[in-house]
Chain A
Amino acid sequence: MHPHMIIDIDEAVELTHMAEKITVIYPTAQAPIECLLWSTFSLLLRAKVKDLIEHFMVVINGPDKRTGDPTNQDQKQTFLEDLRKLKWWHTDEPKIKRDMPLSVLRVWSRIGHPEAIEMAIPWVHTDAYLIMHDDIIINKHNWLGEVKDKFYGDPNVVIAYSPVLHCCQCDSAMYQNKHLLRFPHLLCAFLVCRKKWIRKLGSSWCGYHIETEPFQLSDKVGNVEEFFKYYKDLGLLDNPPQTTTSYNYISMEMGAWHYYNAIQQGLKFAQLDPTLITHIGAASWEIDTGIAERIKKIMPTVRLLEQEIYAHPDYGPLYAKYVPDQYK
């Protein structure tokens, strides 16, 4: 028992959230709508209707008419509103049906991935949530079995992930011709998170890209040797940050504080099968990073998924309505 609050925050979450149930959260901004169609239908068709997935939330973020063109986001909203009217069921088990467990969230005049994730978290009423990108395809039908074993099987696991946990280690880089100090942050393509532990950590998913007065590493961390040892012991110091020139920038991107606090609390991270998902990557970036080429490469995966979608009497017509002509 908590000495002043009676119930500690992790227990408060346990006592008020559905046990062994997952809410899926995926933000979507300016990525092409086909990515959202593939991620959504792969989730619906490759997770059992009455199993761990309790609910899913799609968080649309992007411009309003003053600040850009919201047509893409409007179309995504219309698709989700059409989807919301359907039932969730599989053709091989047509009697197992649910109302579509979908909440649509939207913010206008704002773009940001962790911020959009944070928008959904207060509405999560399950003990875990899955953060997913809108440009992934779930490949396996039995992936929830692995989540049961590796995530729910160990109460100390705070996050289960695929394909990798980190986007970067502790290192340094150049940014606008000045030195940038980077901290390990999380790749959030597919992360299953235990809400009680995340709440207990008290941090947020938001990242910080900070411009500061010039500083030497020792100015900010004190004992540089101890700093290096900390990250080396975690296996996150393959290329140690430089110590000769001053820094002007610090990067603690999405999940950096969650990761740090979870390590401090002694919580664990579990790797799921790295082939569980296909990740197109950078589908929302404004600059062309060769997304068309990357989509071309994964078309065999898309075609397999499309066979399942078109075999479904409700999802097939909806997919055909929204998928761009080039894929037909």
Chain B
Amino acid sequence: MHPHMALNIEECIDHTHLKEKVTAIIPTSNANIKCLLWSVFSLLLRSKPNEMLEHICVNINGPDERTGNPKLQDRKQKFLEELRDLEWFHTNEPSDHRQMPLTIIRAWSRVGYAEALEMALAWVHTDSYLCMHDDVILINRNWTDELKIKFYNDPNVAIAYTPKLLGCNCDHAIHRGMYLLRLPQMETTFLIAKKRWTMKAGASWTGYHMPDDENFLQFEVNELPNETEFFKYYEDKGLMPEKIQTFETYNFVRQGIGAWLYYKLSQLGTTFSKLEENNIIHFGKMSYDEISDEEKNEKIILHKEEIEKLETEIMAHPTFSKLYEKYMPEDKYA
């Protein structure tokens, strides 16, 4: 009920979106294609075809030919196009199958994680969506059971997550030799959000690092409308274990990915539910240009055992195995 619109925005979502269904959203840019193969096949092989996972959107972002080399992204697109032609089924239950519920989204001349994630949201037709990094391997076949209990059973839960919810507390750091104030932002490694609450919150995932080069920002904490209230707010939430500095000027503020969404969901009184950490393995920073290939491979080798388990499942599948072999680089550990 709404005095002017008949329905609230969350009721609009309830009426128009599939119930207790999840759309997985996987942005991918310049990480090696092997990461995408592992994340996608682990999701397909460790979720049941006709259960909670309704749809998958993979959002490829990266350069065009003017601004870089789009070959990696082109190859990812080709892999996904071939995957799209296959049926989704498991070898132990071949009668339980579906057309591949895959939507490919692509942005040329643009790179950004939160922005790529946001690109898919308007197309989500399920009541929830799963944000998943492209360097995650889903381990637990029963992850949706846990979701039923910890996420769907409590209508007040807006977000379920693993391994952690927040990327930082309210703290300070040094940026370009000046003080930066950081506000709590979310980790989106493996995070399930209810669309009704995120729409109600009215915030986006996009982060802000302020100011950009064309603008200027300078303030001191004592300029806040109510300094005591500011500290109390973050201390009460356990998000300021160490008090931020108050004696020098700040020149930067960071509201990273999901900072506004976290703030607004908290203001709405919704809650956040932690899932088992062993649901996934996360290599981490596989898209970072500043991390060398050697360092990336070291992270991968740490999880060789889990990768081999996944490969055994992939290779036992009559159609997924062919695709995997076609697109997996020759030496996956180098």
Chain A residues within 8 Å of B, Cβ to Cβ: 1, 3-7, 9, 12-19, 64-66, 81, 84-85, 99, 102-110, 112, 114-116, 118-119, 121-123, 181, 183, 199, 201-206, 208-212, 217, 219-223, 226-227, 230-231, 250, 252, 256-257, 260
Cα-based distance from A74 to B233 in the complex (angstroms) = 52
- Number of B residues, CB within 8 Å of A: 65
Does the CB pair B209–A16 fall under 8 Å? yes
* Contact partners of B269 in chain A: CB under 8 A: none
If A107-B123, A183-B5 touch, whether A16 touches B115 (CB-CB below 8 Å) is no
- For A107, the chain B residues whose CB sits under 8 A away are 103-106, 123
Contact (Cβ within 8 A) B255 A12: yes
Contact: A201 with B202, CB < 8 Å? yes
Q: Which of B104, B105, B183, B217 contacts A5, CB < 8 Å?
A: B183
CA distance A136 to B5 in the complex (A): 31
With A16-B215, A217-B6, A222-B1 known, 4 other A-B pairs at CB within 8 A are: A3-B229, A103-B107, A103-B109, A231-B4
- Would you call A3 and B212 a contact (CB within 8 A)? no
Shortest Cβ distance from residue B240 to the other chain A in the assembled complex, whole angstroms: 11
Contact of B1 among A15, A99, A220 (CB under 8 A): A220
Hey, what's the 0/1 contact readout for B191-209 against A, CB within 8 Å counting as 1?
A: 0000000010111101011
B43-51, B135-143, B218-226, B278-286 - interface stretch: B218-226
Q: In B1-51, which residues have CB < 8 Å from any A CB?
A: 1-7, 9, 12, 15-16
Residue of B nearest to A217 (CB): B6
Which residues in B have their C-beta under 8 angstroms from that of A227? 3-4
Do A221 and B6 touch across chains, with their CB atoms under 8 A apart? yes
Q: Which residues in B have their C-beta under 8 angstroms from that of A116?
A: 122
B6 touches A1 (CB 8 A): no
How far is A16 from B109 in the complex, measured between Cα atoms in Å? 19
Docked complex Cα distance between A260 and B7 (Å): 12
- The listed residue (A17, A64, A119, A210) touching B122 by CB distance below 8 A is A119
CB contacts (< 8 Å) of B64 on chain A: these are 81, 84, 104
The answer to the question of B214 belonging to the interface, with a C-beta cut-off of 8 Å to chain A, is yes
Report the minimal beta-carbon distance from B234 to chain A, rounded to whole angstroms: 8
Proximity string of chain B (69-85) to chain A, C-beta cutoff 8 Å, 1 when within and 0 when not: 00000000000010011
A266→B219 CA distance, assembly (Å): 29
A206 touches B214 (CB 8 A): no
B224 contacts which chain A residues (CB < 8 A)? Answer: 1, 3, 6
Please, how many angstroms separate the alpha-carbon atoms of A102 and B260 in the complex? 29
29 contacts between A and B (CB under 8 A): A1-B223, A3-B224, A4-B230, A4-B234, A5-B255, A5-B263, A6-B219, A9-B203, A9-B260, A16-B208, A16-B209, A64-B84, A107-B105, A109-B84, A110-B103, A110-B123, A112-B122, A114-B122, A122-B118, A203-B9, A210-B12, A211-B15, A220-B2, A220-B7, A221-B3, A227-B4, A250-B7, A252-B5, A260-B5
B123 to A112, Cβ gap below 8 A?
A: yes
A217 partner residues in chain B, CB cutoff 8 A: 6
Query: Which are the 5 A-B pairs with shortest beta-carbon distances?
Result: A202-B202, A118-B122, A122-B115, A122-B118, A115-B122
- B210 touching A210, Cβ below 8 Å: no
B15, A18: Cβ atoms closer than 8 Å:
no
User: Judging by beta carbons under 8 Å apart, are B2 and A4 in contact?
Assistant: no
Which residues of B in the span 96-140 have a Cβ within 8 Å of any Cβ on A? 99, 102-110, 112, 114-115, 118-119, 121-123
Contact across chains for A15 and B210 when beta carbons are under 8 A apart: yes
Q: Is B186 an interface residue (CB 8 A)?
A: no
Asked if B167 lies at the interface with its beta carbon under 8 angstroms from chain A, I say no
What is the CB-to-nearest-CB distance from A41 to chain B, in angstroms, rounded to a whole number? 20
> Within 8 Å CB of B202, what residues of A?
201-203
The reply to whether the CB of B176 lies closer than 8 angstroms to some CB of chain A is no
Q: From A17, which residue of chain B is reached at the shortest CB distance?
A: B212
- Verify if B329 is at the interface (C-beta below 8 Å from A): no
Q: Please name all residues of chain A whose beta carbon is closer than 8 Å to the beta carbon of B123 when the two chains form the complex.
A: 107, 110, 112, 115, 119
Complex formed: what's the CA distance from A145 to B196 in Å?
41
**Residue of A109, A206, A212, A223 with highest tally of chain B CB at under 10 A:** A109
B109–A219 CB distance below 8 A: no
A260 cross-chain contacts in B, Cβ below 8 A: 4-5
B residues less than 8 Å from A103 (CB atoms) = 107-110
Known: A103-B110, A106-B105, A122-B118. A66 touches B85 (CB 8 A): yes
Q: With A and B bound together, what is the CA distance between A263 and B12 in angstroms?
A: 20
* Cβ of A298 to closest chain B Cβ, rounded Å: 31
Inter-chain CA distance A230–B6, complex, in Å, is: 13
Most chain B CB neighbours (cut-off 10 Å) among A4, A114, A211, A221: A4
Distance, CA A116 to CA B107, complexed state (A):
12
Min distance, Cβ B161 to any Cβ of chain A, angstroms: 21
B2–A15 contact, CB under 8 A? no
B309 adjacent to chain A (CB < 8 Å):
no
Across the two chains, which residue of chain B brings its CB closest to A218?
B1
Contact B6 A250 (CB under 8 A): yes
Q: Given A16-B208, A115-B122, are A208 and B107 also a contact pair (CB < 8 Å)?
A: no
Find out whether the CB atom of A5 lies under 8 angstroms from the CB atom of B260.
Answer: yes
Are the CB atoms of A212 and B15 closer together than 8 Å? yes
Given the complex, which residues of A lie within 8 Å of B217, measured CB to CB? 7, 15
A30 to chain B, nearest CB (A): 17
